[in-house]
Chains A and B, each alone.
Chain A
């Protein structure tokens, strides 16, 4: 736990809306260790992207970090000036976006975009050109010399995402935040990009915070998984443990709703009934209680804390806490 490259603790990010201020995420805490891939999983509106954007402080003008701390490589990022954050962005933490067809500037060639990523943080233009080609080779761009002079619209989706990944790798960052990098791609290309991210991570030793809604992708790429629901972390642990033995009813329900879980068995998929509650109108007790098959009185009355148990596993559920009271685990209340 000591060598966490990113440590988020008690993060609360607010947005101003016409109906007042809402907490898009609250009480989010997790670590990303050096060289590790952590998947941040959740439905739309669970706050996973907001969490990721909070790390780089790239929230829209209506959003702001209200509370909590984000320590990167021993340095507190919350409260840094915009100028100081600019030094962190790209150089120490970089980001890969969801849709590679819109996040590359259409009027510049791939080479220009790579050179820009390098020169922003002071690389000499002459060195940057050589490095750009090197980066395209690194991301296994087919025919990289030619692609340097290509404009984004001349590349396929997968090639564009490779170029995007190359810009993210440009300055050898310690942490790469990947916000649904495969969602906008064809399934076959998805697998290639996941493969690529995995390979590059092994080569560069960078940690990856992988934001996704796809548990299938999580299983392929992540070491650990953080499950979010309605702006909260509801469960975290190693991928193997969480996917095999989910301790939180939400994670269990999420897994049961995946096609893979019942494939070939002839069973129907089990959807999660209901919808994610609105941030403006959160249930008073556990936020998942209205949709939870296991909910009882206590769940509607009080919000369960995030309880730690086993090795580095946490779950936000009264079942867990009460289990601890019953002496089943050695849980301690952390949240």
Chain B
């Protein structure tokens, strides 16, 4: 029964004209409202059975199609994100040189050429390859950070919001405390305490981003907790854990997804900032932030050593931010900006 009978070329809005005539005949004639054939009058604007029958996959495809047509910019930057991901994954294939290799004789600060697309840095390393590998570092840190802080933050917030009472009080005061410290200062503190490594950067950034997810999740959970469907679930005998995970979390994912995509961009910048300051990725890992930091001394003689890593960083952040914005508008059509 799940197959769509007509290719729906646009979002269903209960449009009547292209509805096959037989569907009306399926339903009992209006007015013949016996109990066995319940037709509800005033039902005209409801969707036709085919539209109701749209499966999850079709719904997703429909939503995707609308995203593409309404938010073309966001969609294009979504593709940029995918390309960045591809570059990060296929870095060994795409890179033309070993990113850490110092050739002999070293061609220090060589301008862009066919051999070195983006030129070389002060040690003679290939900047193109380093930018490509830098995408790896950036995306690994950002992805891990976003995954950890999304899951933990949402969980904390949902539990906090549903249970209320002292649990809520304790969790939210900790959240307040973390939120009251400027992001970069706290990240610097944690990262320098733990030492420079990818794991530690992820850890530091996760600690910083968990509170914002927990805030949003808690607010949503408070709304959900007072919703009637939660009372209805309780009336069916559902346990608190079931209500939090089955009814709470699925109903609060939309704002969380949006926040996650925006946090992605911020995590990329934060990683670059930490690396720029020397407490981020270790020296052995090519990182956009560290490249900017070391090449700023040569900015006047070798523009390419700053411009390319900088451009990569900007593109990454821009892509995630614009995609996130578009996603927010798409998931929350009520929001008028």
Contact = CB atoms under 8 A, between A and B. Distances in A.
B217 to A, nearest CB: 15
Interface in B129-159: none
Contacts of B51: 154
A158 interface: yes
For this complex, into which size category does the number of interface residues on chain A fall?
A: 35 or more
Interface in B16-38: 26-28, 33, 35-38
Given A103-B228, A107-B251, A188-B33, A90 B235 contact: yes
B228 A195 contact: no
B177 interface: no
A58 B35 contact: no
A90 B237 contact: yes
A104 interface: yes
B39 interface: yes
Interface string B198-235: 00000000000000000000000000000111011111
A35 B82 CA distance: 62
Interface in B238-265: 238-239, 242, 246-247, 250-251
A56 B280 CA distance: 56
A269 B233 CA distance: 41
A115 B25 CA distance: 30
A140 B40 contact: no
A193 B47 CA distance: 21
A87 B53 CA distance: 34
A173 B167 CA distance: 35
A167 interface: yes
B229 A104 contact: yes
A326 to B, nearest CB: 47
B229 A87 contact: no
Contact of B237 (A61, A91, A105, A147): A91
B52 A146 contact: yes
Given A102-B228, A146-B49, A189 B237 contact: no
B182 interface: no
B40 A167 contact: no
A199 interface: yes
Nearest to B27: A142
A195 to B, nearest CB: 5
Interface string A146-159: 11011000111111
A299 interface: no
A120 B235 CA distance: 11
B43 interface: yes
- Most chain A CB within 10 A, of B1, B36, B228, B250, is at B228
A192 interface: yes
Given A91-B237, A167-B236, A188-B33, A58 B231 contact: yes
Nearest to B47: A154
Nearest to A186: B42
Contact of B38 (A86, A141, A149): A141
B35 A192 contact: yes
Contacts of A146: 1, 49, 52-53
B6 interface: no
B55 interface: yes
B46 interface: yes
A108 to B, nearest CB: 8
B41 interface: yes
A97 B2 CA distance: 30
A106 interface: yes
A143 interface: yes
B33 A143 contact: no
Contacts of B33: 188, 192
A147 B49 CA distance: 8
A291 interface: no
Nearest to B234: A58
A116 B246 contact: yes
Contacts of A157: 40
A251 B43 CA distance: 37
B27 A143 contact: yes
A188 B1 CA distance: 30
A106 B223 CA distance: 14
B246 to A, nearest CB: 7
Nearest to A110: B52
Nearest to B252: A107
Nearest to B53: A146
B225 to A, nearest CB: 10
- Most chain B CB within 10 A, of A143, A155, A156, is at A156
Nearest to B226: A60
Given A146-B49, A188-B41, A89 B35 contact: no
Contacts of A103: 228-229, 231-232
A-B complex: 3 closest residue pairs judged by Cβ atoms:
A90-B236, A89-B237, A90-B237
Interface of B: 1-2, 26-28, 33, 35-43, 46-47, 49, 51-55, 164, 227-229, 231-239, 242, 246-247, 250-251
Given A58-B235, A97-B232, A142-B39, 5 more contacts: A86-B238, A90-B237, A105-B229, A164-B232, A192-B33
Interface of A: 56, 58, 61, 86-91, 94-95, 97, 99, 102-108, 116-117, 120-121, 140-143, 145-147, 149-150, 154-159, 162, 164, 167, 170, 186, 188-189, 192, 195-196, 199
22 contacts: A58-B234, A86-B238, A87-B237, A89-B237, A95-B235, A97-B228, A97-B232, A105-B229, A105-B247, A116-B238, A143-B26, A143-B27, A145-B1, A147-B52, A149-B2, A150-B53, A154-B51, A158-B40, A186-B41, A188-B41, A195-B35, A199-B35
